Amino acid sequence: MIIAGIDIGNASTETALARYVDGKPEFLCSGIVDTTGMKGTRQNIHGVFASLKQALEKADLTVEDVDLIRINEAAPVIGDVAMETITETIITESTMIGHNPSTPGGLGIGVGVTVDIREVNNCDKGESVIVVIPREVDFEDSSRIINHAVNNGIFINGAIVQRDDGVLINNRLTKKIPIVDEVSLIDKVPRNMRAAIEVAAAGSVVEQLSNPYGIATVFDLTSDETKQVVPVSRALIGNRSAVVIKTPAGDVKERKIPAGQIIIQGTNKKAQVNVDDGAEKIMDAIRSVAPVEDIRGEAGTNAGGMLEKVRQVMSHLTDQLPSAIKIQDLLAVDTFVPQTVKGGVAEEFSMENAVGIAAMVKADKLQMNMIAHELEAELGVKVEVGGVEADMAIRGALTTPGSNKPLAIIDMGAGSTDAAIINRAGEIKSIHLAGAGNMVTLLIASELGYDNMALAEDIKKYPLAKVESLFHIRHEDGTVQFFDKPLDPRTFARVVILTPNGMVPMPGNYSLERIRAVRREAKTKVFVVNAIRSLERVSPTGNVRDIEFVTLVGGSALDFEIPQLVTDALSKYSIVSGRANIRGVEGPRNAVATGLVLAYEEGE
């Protein structure tokens, strides 16, 4: 007889097809497609069809040949992710341009009153002026006007320019001044206000304006005022050029958004923790009250909003009342998010603190039976709901060559990280934790400031390279690769993602090292943390060290570096861990589907 095991996961639906001969399974082939809809819902059926069809076509069979379909009793967990910034910088009345044009003009620091260049000749002799040059005035006119004004005894100490004209203007001036160009929203630059401009030499960064006391010196600030400019100077650190304008009512604030409390209700204990205290405190609190029954946020705060949003999404998907949805695990991660400064002039941004949260919800079990019923009706093939997902995964994982009981598996998926352990007697214990591949994507996207999740997904999945000439790239590890044909000019001198469909140039000015660091850190923060967290829970002694062998399965185990990061981290606990190779051919994929087929043999 022919049996199909079908595993509906958060991201992919996998099929294992086998023929039973004399009670022994002989695997024919497998199929894999993207899961349609949220795991555990009616929409999954399309994906199940497609996955089964794919496997059948490879084996030259039709649906009629199949005698039994076994689907997983999907661990009823659904993961969702959310991100909340807990600080923000607001400038009431613009007071700074923390701006990094590629080619500013001139050098040094200049202080004066901001004046439109077309009105500069109305200034008094001996006055100190910073000219503001909008798009309409070209560099030849501007430089002529400035030279003329300087000859008339007006001190022009700097210029703020809208176009990319800084060097051109500077080259035509008799007296050199610092010039900041490419200021897009020049109309927002307040006029007749005291301003300071600093341009550093090539290869250096601004020193005066990135120092709160430096700003205080320039503007004669009191100690209270100096306190207020700290966010300004902080935002200017690392720039080659900067402008600070002092407006009378001007004020930059770093506002702390009240993030609120998270209330963790355990079976026996209850804990409250402030989101401001950071991810580590939150995770400690969760560990201290385990096992967790529900997690709530303080009403009317960001934390409350964030968790309620997750609850809403889940209740919508599972058709249950929000109050019936219990959040049973949470992974909190500290991160930074570049946020546009409110009230900025040149689209300045500052790095704000944020907390990323992945939550896991136990959903309704009945949905799987409903899917089985519908499948059976449509296909005319007997469909049964097989055993618990984690048990199936272990059975599948044990087909990895070189593995044996006792064995622990870590199933690293897209929505959740699951762990299970089987002892010598064959008893299985399992656990589901929040946070997996989707969380990594979210962290990468938010930390680099991309709205584009597909791009973040690519960054997560594929290695990077830097295009160094029209003919060669340098990979992350420093090796150089040459090409016969010139590369696309759009990729020239950029960091690119080496996807199977070619090189994708990265927007923005991030260096390869920075993107790589963000990527690896996101993976470590989620998967290494979760690997240890999950093993702690399933270990018979509660100690990670008492586990000897670990195999990694699931989609995220296919990643080019996640298994290494986890293997490396676990080796510190003297654990042998590595990527599984299901049936010796599938790699870390297809564990649950394989297990579903194998479980039939044992009469489960």
Residues forming the site for another protein (CB under 8 A):
102-103, 139, 164-168, 171, 468-471, 486, 489-490, 492-494, 505
Quick one: 1 or 493, whose CB is closer to another protein? 493
Quick one: 496 or 593, whose CB is closer to another protein? 496
On whether 369 is known to bind a ligand per the annotation, the reply is no
On whether 534 is known to bind a ligand per the annotation, the reply is no
Q: Are 275 and 303 in contact, with CB atoms under 8 Å apart?
A: yes
Cα–Cα distance, 314 to 434 (Å, whole number) = 14
Half-sphere exposure of residue 28: CA atoms within 13 angstroms, side-chain side: 24
Quick one: 121 or 184, whose CB is closer to another protein? 184
Choose among 134, 7, 79, 61: nearest CA to 530: 79
**Token pair in block for residue 274:** 């402030």
Cα–Cα distance, 428 to 592 (Å, whole number) = 14
If you search the block for the tokens 């690769």, which residue do you land on? 481
CB of 446 to another protein, least distance (A): 24
Quick one: 477 or 484, whose CB is closer to another protein? 484
Quick one: 213 or 471, whose CB is closer to another protein? 471
CB of 165 to another protein, least distance (A): 7
User: SS3 breakdown of the chain: % helix, strand, coil, rounded to 5?
Assistant: 35, 35, 35
CB of 138 to another protein, least distance (A): 9
On whether 556 is known to bind a ligand per the annotation, the reply is yes
CB of 102 to another protein, least distance (A): 7
- Round to the nearest angstrom and report the end-to-end CA distance of the chain: 16
Q: Are 259 and 301 in contact, with CB atoms under 8 Å apart?
A: yes
On whether 399 is known to bind a ligand per the annotation, the reply is no
CB of 201 to another protein, least distance (A): 12
Quick one: 164 or 294, whose CB is closer to another protein? 164
On whether 163 is known to bind a ligand per the annotation, the reply is no
CB of 168 to another protein, least distance (A): 5
**Token pair in block for residue 555:** 């989609």
On whether 555 is known to bind a ligand per the annotation, the reply is yes
Choose among 47, 424, 90: nearest CA to 256: 90
On whether 427 is known to bind a ligand per the annotation, the reply is no
Quick one: 2 or 487, whose CB is closer to another protein? 487
Task: Please write down the HEC assignment for all residues of 348-411.
Answer: CEEEEEEEEEEEEEECCCHHHHHHHHHHHHHHCCEEEEEEEHHHHHHHHHCCCCCCCCCEEEEE
On whether 457 is known to bind a ligand per the annotation, the reply is yes
Annotated binding site: 10-12, 103, 164, 181, 457-460, 555-556, 589
Annotated binding site for Mg(2+): 103, 164, 181
Annotated binding site for ATP: 10-12, 457-460, 555-556, 589
